[in-house]
Structure 1
Amino acid sequence: MDLNLHADQSTRIREAAEYVAGIADNLRKINNGPVFDCDRDKLVEGVNIWFNRLAELLGKKGEAA
Structure 2
Amino acid sequence: MSLHVYRVGPESGRAIVAVHGLKGYGGRWRVFAEEQLSDFQVFAPDLRGHGLSPGEPPWT
Question: Does the pair score TM above 0.5?
Answer: no
Structure label with greater radius of gyration: 1
Greater share of helix:
1
Greater share of strand:
2
TM-score normalised by L of structure 1:
0.30
- Kindly indicate whether structure 1 or structure 2 has the higher relative contact order, using CA contacts under 8 Å at least 6 residues apart: 2
